[in-house]
Amino acid sequence: MQITEVRLRHLNMDLVAPFTTSFGTFVDKEFILVEVKNGEGLSGWAESVAFSAPWYNEETIKTNWTMLEDFLIPLVLDKEIEHPRDVSDMFSHIRKNNMAKSAIEGAIWDLYAKEKNIPLSMALGGELEKIDVGISIGIQKTVPELLAKIEAGLKDGYKRIKMKIQPGWDVDVIREVRNRYPDIPIMADANSAYRLKDIELLKQLDQFDLMMIEQPLSSDDIVDHATLQAEIKTPICLDESIHSVEDARKALELGSCKIINIKIGRVGGLTEAMKIHELCKERNVPVWCGGMLESGVGRAHNIALTTLDNFTMPGDTAASANYWHKDIIQPEVTVYDGVITVPKAAGIGYEVDYTAVDEFTSYSKRYTNK
Ligand SMILES: O=C(O)CCC(=O)c1ccccc1C(=O)O
Ligand SMILES: [Mg+2]
């Protein structure tokens, strides 16, 4: 396959409600949408999940744009690409910048699947036709507001409730949630808000029968997490700490976690995500697909990846309407009883709505060698 043109667009979409994590609050989502074209009029799509500020990882929209423009696009434009799985090797001499790499690699996977006229899920080797999803609920101002959000999530049928925690919004809040809902699957995501010195507090979480605690300690740590995991019963799930299959191997060998959250952008693309999935499958470690408040395009990629058979825990890919007044794909992602039916159309399986894309685009740029 050959990419003859790349188009980057900068979009900004308002969230239906603010989303607060231990590192900050989102009221809208700025992101880069990548479109790669071949000579036959087909387009492949993906989005960068980098945020406007470097508060989840070191990447930002601007660093991603620069990496794409200066390094990554020139490496793929007009090059003969035998298979999208080769793209990550073409980028291997460029350090880090995983979200930038993933944005173009994902678009090439979509284009490849469209050229073959098969769904992206099939191109990845995924077989599930329906996937289970949960919902991620941000830090709220009050416990009643949190309980109301949980109630709504349960009513929509989401298969598990993830609540964000941070110092001051943790043990007491989870206790109230547990008292109100003794049996539901709950997990907590700290986004690296604690340190090993908080171990006594973290041990208290064991009483609530949580499915897991996600990324309690530093975003670059796997050593202290191993110490913590040895001291608590609740499974630790790593998110921020895992950037590659090598990171995953080391974390599993150290005993730093029992579950891994796979985010395509964080690990540099679908090919690396599949490698982590494979490693975890060999070692009987369950994985699930994390979310980054994606538009429908990123959501579609998450859905395709989740069709691989070791994605045995519900992911964060909730319905479009949970985030957006209007999404940029047709149809939007819908969830019934906590289940998404995997689309069967070619590529990402949803049509990108150019009118909606234009509405949210503040600037764009075309790259060709001509
Ligand atoms: O609903 C989603 O897309 C996931 C929400 C979420 O938990 C999240 C949102 C923004 C940044 C990091 C995270 C995370 O999983 O840690
Ligand atoms: Mg997380």
Dump pLDDT digits (tens) for 342-357: 999 999 999 999 999 9
Please tell me whether 28 is known to bind a ligand.
no
Residues 99-111: pLDDT tens digits? 999 999 999 999 9
pLDDT value of position 289: 98
Average pLDDT, the chain: 98
The answer to whether residue 93 scores a pLDDT higher than 90 is yes
pLDDT of 243-275, one tens digit each?
A: 999 999 999 999 999 999 999 999 999 999 999
Say if residue 61's pLDDT is above 90.
Answer: yes
Tell me what ipTM this predicted complex has: 0.99
Cα(290) to ligand 1 centroid in Å equals 7
Atom of ligand 1 nearest to the CA of 292: 3
Q: Is 239 annotated as a binding residue?
A: yes
| Cα distances (Å, whole numbers) of residue 271 to 96, 165, 173, 213, 261 | 15, 31, 39, 26, 15
Mutate to test the pocket of ligand 1, among 21, 288, 289, 297 (most ligand atoms within 8 A of CB): 21
pLDDT digits (tens, 9 = 90+) for 215-243: 999 999 999 999 999 999 999 999 999 99
Which residues line ligand 1 at a C-beta cut-off of 6 Å? 21, 56, 136, 189, 191, 239, 290-293, 316, 318
CA 190 to mean position of chain CA atoms: 16
* Band of residue 54 on the pLDDT scale cut at 50, 70, 90: very high
User: Which residues lie at CB < 5 A from ion ligand 2?
Assistant: 189, 214, 239
Confidence of residue 370 (pLDDT cuts 50, 70, 90): confident
Contact 22, 166 (CB under 8 A): yes
d(CA 195, CA 204): 15
Model pLDDT, residue 226: 98
